[in-house]
Structures are given as structure tokens and as C-alpha cells.
């Protein structure tokens, strides 16, 4: 069992004033696998003060020096990759074979992308008689979720450090263990004191303190829509910069000329990855009415390959949900879908056969879902797919855009030109065409109530930079 009774502040491991702890539960076994301390506003203040004191020095470090520190951290992530994958699988239940590639591999790749970006990025530019300078924002507070615990951390911490900002990180108390591994790696890399600080705690205590703190210059938050609204509200008091990556209700629009079997198989996979606990999950499958019956049959067949099981088993593609509360939340949405009249094609609220322990939910597919149904509008965050039919292309676009969210979407068509035309009409920050691969250098973020600001690539770096114009007399 992993146990740590200290927080990482100002380059040291310190004991919090209040000796309170949170237990980390393995969602597949329901056993306690770890215990970490809960910080309070006292430790949050200490972390912010340490970051503020280090800001002037770190922000002035040559880019090559910052890059060298990032390289040491990246090497640490790679060398401890198997430990990270095992830890995150134990924390959230993602199948281990996926955790190795996604939960451990992706953060190392993201960090490497910023090391490479620093080799070519221009922090200064001459325009006429002006010198345009990009400078670090200052102290960045990063609040991250539990579903991709280390990836979401690195997607914020890497560009912040690259930009010259000092960081106060508050990871989710549900899955905090990989953040402690990162702090150990940072400490071993010799990062100057105060540049990186780790405080675990609840949103109500530590999160709200950071969001309203006068000495925090920027807050980068990923989480629920409700919590994001609260962060923005608190941050407005000091007019600090805010980036929000919130929920999603992503639509996969399958046009009438698409390769239907391939499109259905890929959409089911994009819906069920991480047991549906993914903000970009393609949870709405939109098909022409004339193809509905065939699409429904293919979706049910594809879902059969996602039998819930032990995350450590090689054949498992669907692990548990992260907690008992999340399991009940998803089951409640399934009940509401049935009550609203959607066709339950497969799955349901009953526990998966043979799994009496663990927070497992049957992968569920609803058919004949209409736009006004709750399961078509709200983010379920579980392995639940809604199949919706449309009359024509314009109707498909209207349905796809008909939610408060706008994080991701997909379009499938035999014609790339036609697919791109539809993609341009979708109000989403990221649209995949025919299964286009995730690009670490492309901007990631949402439209509408999915948030604002962008992560990854140069777009993520620029969120942590202020722009200054210095005018010279000619």
C-alpha cells in the first residue's frame, strides 16, 4: 500500500498542520491501496507563497535551462513508466494494457513535445518599431481530475514550466498517487525550490483557496461543468486568467456514404474507452434513418467485445468505474433512459455477471434516443451509448450541435471533402474525420460550456504567457 503523510512545498516534503488523510480505493477490488494527506488553506497559502518567491528567478532562466529540467522529468516518467501504469490502473481501473500506453505513455510523450517545442518557439518578435515579448504569467494553479490523472497534470504542468511559470498543483483526491510519483521525480531532477508544489485536498478547501488567491495569476482547471463555473466565479474577484476544460457530449455523425461497420466499431471504442469516463467520449451516435436498424445491430455486436473484467487481465477492455458513487450515477442515467422511452438494446442496471465485487457497470446501448431525452443532453461519464437517427445532413448537424457542450465530435464519410464540410459546421473544439488520430501538437479544448482556453502544443504554451509590446523611437 502506498502511504505518504507529507506534501511537497518549496522543494521540501512537509507535514500539513492538520493530520487528516484520504484513502485511495481500488475500484476493481474495493480495497484501500493508498493514503495521502489532505491539505488545508494553510498549506495552499504556503505553496502559493513559495511559487511567488521562485517566480522571478524561474521566469528569467534561459529557455535551454528550463528545457534541460523538463528533459530530466521526462526521463523520470519513462524510467518509472511501469510503476505509473500499475498505480493508475489500481487507482481508477483502466485496463493495464491501456494504462501502459495512455496513462503512462501519453504524459511522457506530451512532456517530450514541449521539450522539442522549446527548441523552435520564438518568445520575442519584431513588428515595425515594436518588440513583442512573451513573458510567463507568473504563479499558475493547476487543478486536475481523476480520469486521466497524470496526463491531465502534465498537460498543464509541462507548458507552465516551459513558459517560465511556477506551479501549485492540486490533483484529484480520488486518484492522487501518480501526482506524488511526479513530485518525487521533480525532486530528483533538482528543480529549484518553489517552482513545483503539490498540495492534495478537496475542492472546497484547497481548490477554492487557489481559485480566489490574490497571488495566483492563472488557474487552469479540468473537471465538471458545475465545478468549473465555481472556479470562474471565484477567479473573477482578482481578474486572474482562467482556462477551463469541462464536460462533453460528443456526437459521431455517420453520413450515408460512410463505411458503416468501421464507423460503428470505432464509435463504440471511442465511447467505452476508460469505461466511458472520458470527456471526449463519442456518446451520441448519429445515423441516417434508413441505416438505423443496421447501425443498431452493429453497435450491439461491437459492444459484446467489451465485457467488464479484471483490469490486470490481458483480455480485459472494460474496467470498473472509479467509485461506488460514480457507478450509481451511471446506473441512474440508465434508469432514466428506460423511463424516458429509449430502447435498451443491450446492457442495463444489473451488475455484470460474475462480478460481485468492484464498481462495474454493464456496457449499455440505447436506441431510438431523441434530442430532448436526458441521456442525449447530459454527460453520463460511463459506458453508455445513445443511438439517434436523423433525416438529412442539416438535421444531423442541428442534432450534433444541440447540447450545451462542444468539446469533441466525429464525422464519417467516404468523401473527405464532404466530411470536412460537416466538420466545419460542428461547434466543437476537436473533430475527428474517419477516425483521425489524436495529435499532441493540435489544440485541445472546447466551445460553449465545454470551457475556454486550449491545451497541448504551442496553443497550450501560450495560455501561460503574457504578451508585452515594447515600442522604440525610430
Is 340 strand, coil or helix?
coil
Looking at residue 379, its pLDDT comes to 98
Listing DSSP states for 235-298 in one string gives HGGGT-EEEEE----EEEEE-TTS-HHHHHHHHHHHHHGGGG--TT-EEEEEEEGGGHHHHHHH
Looking at residue 474, its pLDDT comes to 84
Q: 216 and 338: one domain?
A: no
Looking at residue 203, its pLDDT comes to 93
pLDDT tens column, 128-153 = 999 999 999 999 999 999 999 999 99
Domain with 283, as residue range(s), is 250-440
Q: 343 and 223: one domain?
A: no
Q: 255 and 239: one domain?
A: no
Looking at residue 226, its pLDDT comes to 95
Find cell 472556479 and name the residue.
231
% pLDDT > 70, the chain: 100
pLDDT, average across residues 438-463: 98
In a domain, 445, yes or no: no
- The yes-or-no verdict on residue 1 having pLDDT over 90 is no
Half-sphere exposure (Cβ direction) of 145: Cα atoms closer than 13 Å: 18
Q: Are 6 and 14 in contact (CB under 8 A)?
A: yes
In the chain, how many domains are there? 2
pLDDT tens column, 151-169 = 999 999 999 999 999 999 9
% pLDDT > 90, the chain: 98
Listing DSSP states for 179-231 in one string gives HHHHHHHHHHHTPPTTSEEE----IIIIIHHHHH-TT--EEEEES-HHHHHHH
Q: 381 and 279: one domain?
A: yes
Looking at residue 243, its pLDDT comes to 98
Looking at residue 90, its pLDDT comes to 98
Residues sharing a CB contact under 8 Å with residue 1, sequence separation 6 or more, in sequence order? 32, 33, 34, 35
Q: 166 and 72: one domain?
A: yes
Q: Quick one: which of 322, 375, 316 has its CA closest to 345? A: 375
Q: 292 and 164: one domain?
A: no
Catalytic residues: 245, 279
pLDDT tens column, 238-289 = 999 999 999 999 999 999 999 999 999 999 999 999 999 999 999 999 999 9
Cell of 92: 481508477
Q: 218 and 150: one domain?
A: yes
In a domain, 307, yes or no: yes
Q: Are 222 and 172 in contact (CB under 8 A)?
A: no
- The yes-or-no verdict on residue 316 having pLDDT over 90 is yes
Band (16; pLDDT cuts 50, 70, 90): very high
Q: CATH number, domain at 338? A: 3.40.309.10
Q: 65 and 153: one domain?
A: yes
Q: Quick one: which of 192, 176, 186, 163 has its CA closest to 10? A: 192
- Quote the CA–CA distance of 394 and 400 in Å, as a whole number: 10
Residues written for the chain: 474
Q: 194 and 337: one domain?
A: no
Band (372; pLDDT cuts 50, 70, 90): very high
Find cell 511537497 and name the residue.
8
Q: CATH number, domain at 464? A: 3.40.605.10
Cα dihedral 70, 74, 75, 80 sign: positive
pLDDT tens column, 319-338 = 999 999 999 999 999 999 99
Band (3; pLDDT cuts 50, 70, 90): confident
- Quote the CA–CA distance of 128 and 332 in Å, as a whole number: 61
Question: What secondary structure letter does DSSP report for 91?
Answer: H
Q: 315 and 280: one domain?
A: yes
Looking at residue 24, its pLDDT comes to 97
Looking at residue 13, its pLDDT comes to 98
pLDDT tens column, 25-82 = 999 999 999 999 999 999 999 999 999 999 999 999 999 999 999 999 999 999 999 9
| Cα–chain center distance at 158 | 15
Q: Mean pLDDT over all residues of the chain?
A: 97
In a domain, 210, yes or no: yes
Q: 345 and 428: one domain?
A: yes
pLDDT tens column, 396-411 = 999 999 999 999 999 9
Phi/psi of residue 195, each to 5°?
-75, -35
Question: What secondary structure letter does DSSP report for 173?
Answer: S
pLDDT tens column, 338-347 = 999 999 999 9
Q: Long-range contact list for 264-268, CB < 8 A, 24+ apart? A: 264/295, 264/298, 264/299, 264/302, 265/298, 265/302, 266/410, 266/412, 266/435, 267/299, 267/385, 267/410, 268/299, 268/302, 268/303, 268/306, 268/385
Cell of 462: 501560450
Q: 389 and 356: one domain?
A: yes
Half-sphere exposure (Cβ direction) of 341: Cα atoms closer than 13 Å: 5
Amino acid at each position: 500500500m502506498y502511504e505518504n503523510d507529507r506534501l511537497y512545498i518549496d522543494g521540501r516534503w512537509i507535514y500539513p498542520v492538520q493530520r487528516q488523510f484520504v484513502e485511495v480505493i481500488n475500484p476493481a477490488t474495493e480495497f484501500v491501496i493508498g493514503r495521502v494527506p489532505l491539505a488545508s488553506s494553510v498549506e495552499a497559502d504556503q505553496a502559493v507563497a513559495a511559487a511567488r518567491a521562485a517566480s522571478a528567478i524561474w521566469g528569467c532562466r534561459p529557455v535551454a535551462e528550463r528545457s534541460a529540467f523538463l528533459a530530466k522529468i521526462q526521463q523520470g516518467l519513462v524510467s518509472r513508466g511501469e510503476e505509473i501504469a500499475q498505480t493508475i490502473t489500481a487507482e481508477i481501473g483502466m485496463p493495464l494494457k491501456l494504462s501502459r500506453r495512455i496513462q503512462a505513455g501519453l504524459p511522457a510523450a506530451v512532456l517530450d513535445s514541449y521539450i522539442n517545442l522549446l527548441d523552435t518557439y520564438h518568445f520575442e518578435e519584431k513588428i515595425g518599431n515594436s518588440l513583442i515579448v512573451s513573458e510567463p504569467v507568473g504563479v499558475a494553479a493547476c487543478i486536475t481530475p481523476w480520469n486521466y490523472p497524470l496526463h491531465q497534470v502534465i498537460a498543464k504542468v509541462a507548458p507552465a514550466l516551459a513558459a517560465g511559470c511556477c506551479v501549485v498543483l492540486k490533483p484529484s483526491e480520488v486518484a492522487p498517487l501518480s501526482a506524488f510519483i511526479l513530485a518525487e521525480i521533480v525532486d530528483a531532477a533538482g528543480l529549484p525550490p518553489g517552482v513545483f508544489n503539490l498540495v492534495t485536498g478537496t475542492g472546497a478547501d484547497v481548490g477554492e483557496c487557489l481559485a480566489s488567491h490574490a497571488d495566483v495569476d492563472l488557474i487552469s482547471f479540468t473537471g465538471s461543468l458545475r465545478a468549473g463555473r465555481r472556479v470562474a466565479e471565484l477567479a473573477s474577484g482578482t481578474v486572474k486568467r482562467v482556462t477551463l476544460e469541462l464536460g462533453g457530449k460528443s456526437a459521431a455523425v455517420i453520413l450515408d456514404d460512410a463505411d458503416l461497420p468501421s464507423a460503428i466499431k470505432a464509435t463504440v471504442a471511442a465511447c467505452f474507452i476508460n469505461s466511458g469516463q472520458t470527456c471526449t467520449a463519442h456518446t451520441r451516435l448519429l445515423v441516417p434513418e434508413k441505416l438505423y436498424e443496421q447501425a443498431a445491430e452493429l453497435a450491439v455486436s461491437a459492444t459484446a467485445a467489451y465485457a467488464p473484467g479484471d483490469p490486470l487481465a490481458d483480455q480485459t477492455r472494460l474496467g470498473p468505474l472509479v467509485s461506488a458513487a460514480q457507478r450509481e450515477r451511471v446506473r441512474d442515467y440508465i434508469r432514466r433512459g428506460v423511463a424516458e422511452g429509449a430502447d435498451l438494446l443491450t446492457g442495463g442496471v444489473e451488475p455484470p455477471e460474475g462480478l460481485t465485487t468492484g464498481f462495474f457497470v454493464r456496457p449499455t446501448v440505447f436506441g431510438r434516443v431523441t434530442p430532448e431525452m436526458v441521456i442525449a443532453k447530459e454527460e453520463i461519464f460511463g459506458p453508455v451509448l445513445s443511438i439517434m437517427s436523423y433525416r438529412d445532413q442539416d438535421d444531423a448537424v442541428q442534432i450534433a450541435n444541440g447540447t450545451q457542450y462542444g468539446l469533441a465530435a466525429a464525422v464519417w464519410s467516404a468523401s473527405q471533402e464532404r466530411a470536412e464540410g460537416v466538420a466545419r459546421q460542428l461547434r466543437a473544439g476537436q473533430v475527428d474525420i474517419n477516425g483521425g488520430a489524436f495529435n499532441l501538437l493540435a489544440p485541445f479544448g472546447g466551445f460553449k460550456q465545454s470551457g475556454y482556453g486550449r491545451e497541448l502544443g504551442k496553443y497550450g504554451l501560450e495560455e501561460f504567457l503574457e504578451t508585452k509590446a515594447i515600442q522604440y523611437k525610430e
